[in-house]
Amino acid sequence: MTSTASPATLSSLVKPLFLGQLRSEALVPYPTMSADDAELLAMVQDNVAKFAADHIDPAAIDQAHAIPQEVLDGLAELGLFGVAVPEEYDGLGMTNTQYVKLCETLATLDGAVPIMSGGHSTIGIKAIQLFGTDAQKARYMPRLASGELKAAFALSEAGAGSDAQALRCTATRDGDDWLLNGNKLWITNGGFADVFTVFARTPDEERDDGRISITCFFVERSAGIVSEKEEEKLGIRGSSTVPLLFENVRVPADAVIGDVGKGFKIAMHVLNAGRTGLSANCLGSSKVLIEEMAKYTNERQQFGLPISKFELIQQKLGRCAQDVHALECMVYLTTGLVDRGHKDIALEAALCKIFGTETLWSVVNDAVQCAGGNGFTTDYPYERMLRDARVNMIFEGTNEILRLMVAKTGLGELGAALAGSTTGDALDKLVRGSEAPDPIEVPAALQRDALGLSMGIATLAQTSAAALAEHGKDVGAKQLVMAALADQVLALYAQMAVLSRAKLVVEAKGEEGAAAELLLARGACRRMAARAKAAADSLRDPDVGLLLETAAAVSDSERVPTEAP
């Protein structure tokens, strides 16, 4: 989709929040798909659902620790491997929103299948799609779209998980070719992929800025890549996850994606693109769980009543629904921004990933609890879904690292904005309090929540300024401070998305027709406002030092440091 919006309109929605600014013009209207896009999506979803009914058995896939070959072949025939590939390369050319909605659908069918699909479409082929030459795309993209070739993304190593700069796999020149040596770890689709997006240090290629030189390669398995034994995993057992071994793997010069030495930036672009898909996986699974919870708690009776009538069960159902509604609004606001032409969505995608993965973990935990003893057995899907859900908070950037990234970027924006001041007056003024931005224009029923959002943004600017004033350049090392700021901005972005969508629905259906939307919007906004306040309050916790001292004592003694009387 080509956008005619101004560069200012297309900039990040999250970064200005740290400055106390709200770019409401980018929120209105909430993004929606065109009729043609919706029709194509519905057709693909229907075809996949019909295929799944006959061929995809989540319990069998979990027990077999593999997706059957006939399932992979059938999904290829349906065009699943080409949904994100442009039409000029024989793909379906789906928009970001269409593709992510399909991710949500896949997650309602099984836990391993969407991981396999994302390993191919959101990270496996994204580097060549975004940064490849015309010749590289012409050579590979049609075969990737058809499923003739299946892709994987190879970045992580034993000593390089969150710290991608610590890569030890190397690529050295040998005439016109390159020789790759080293190991990769936890590679999704690694057991069966035909081509790999590989990131390696290129130690002989110095960068002008002195940073480690990392280069991206698109490597065929036939070059000599060895897949080692499949990992025995807690969850998503049906997905292929293996270490890779490179021993003098020879690849030609035209295997390089982008510029030599610029691979780290490519890796970050690819991961940003993958996080909304992962968030949608969590959204789809969460919706399935809520449906199961609602049915089970209506059927299960205790003391002569369905347990859904008891407030402690209602509390679980209500908070799950509010969080999942907020997640849905966030995910499709973010994908809509991409489809409108926004390039700077790294923070938005990171927040979706954090909130999506943690929401699913909370929902599946509540679902197990509502099911009681049945939730702990393999007769019901809860235990499998719980196992599948746990990894989401780890891969494609751990939630801890993403929180630090969000806060570091936001504080960098604030610091740059204040850099023009010759005194500390501007920072001091923000520390004392920031003026709240004008509220988003919303229906009358949500005006209180729009005002709460504006006040929360002012609080974020104040707490961000206070963190800079207190810690200066060392603020990045204060990880609890950084995480609290990230949690504030996450809750604010959620409120922005919820209010934007509610406004659209009310305008389309009227307040009476949008009663359910308004109920969820009010509940989600107030839950998120409370979350933002709790994060801000944690920055003033006088006892946080006790927590850190206790942690140090545990690390020193490698046990709970108690002494028996």
CA distances from 532 to 185, 483, 526 (A): 36, 12, 10
Residue 412 in tokens:
């960098």
157 DSSP assignment: B
Residue 493 in tokens:
């972005």
Tokens 């610029």 sit on residue: 262
Q: What are 225's strand-pairing partners?
A: none
**Parallel, antiparallel or unpaired: strands 214-220 and 241-251:** unpaired
Could you give the 3-state DSSP secondary structure of residue 520? Answer: helix
Q: What are 250's strand-pairing partners?
A: 179
Tokens 């959204």 sit on residue: 283
Q: How far apart are CA 482 and CA 490, in angstroms?
A: 12
3-state secondary structure 389-416: HHHHHCCCCCHHHHHHHHHHHHHHHHHH
**Catalytic residue flag (residue 507):** no
**Dihedral Cα 29, 32, 351, 523, nearest 10 deg:** 70
Could you give the 3-state DSSP secondary structure of residue 49? Answer: helix
C-alpha 368, offset from chain centre: 24
C-alpha closest to that of 401 among 243, 271, 297, 550: 271
Q: How far apart are CA 301 and CA 199, in angstroms?
A: 55
Q: How far apart are CA 420 and CA 418, in angstroms?
A: 5
C-alpha 321, offset from chain centre: 19
CA distances from 418 to 9, 19, 326, 455 (A): 22, 9, 32, 21
Q: How far apart are CA 437 and CA 487, in angstroms?
A: 20
Catalytic residue among 157, 396, 413, 517: 396
Count Cβ neighbours within 10 Å for each residue of 313-347 and write b for 16 or more, e otherwise.
Answer: beebbebbbbbbbbbbbbbbbbbbbbbbebeebbb
Q: How far apart are CA 338 and CA 410, in angstroms?
A: 20
Instruction: Please check whether residue 362 is in contact with residue 392, taking contact to mean a CB–CB distance below 8 angstroms.
Output: no
C-alpha closest to that of 484 among 391, 411, 430: 411
CB neighbour class for 312 (10 Å; exposed up to 12, middle 13-18, buried from 19): exposed
Q: How far apart are CA 453 and CA 476, in angstroms?
A: 26
Could you give the 3-state DSSP secondary structure of residue 201? Answer: strand
Catalytic residues: 396
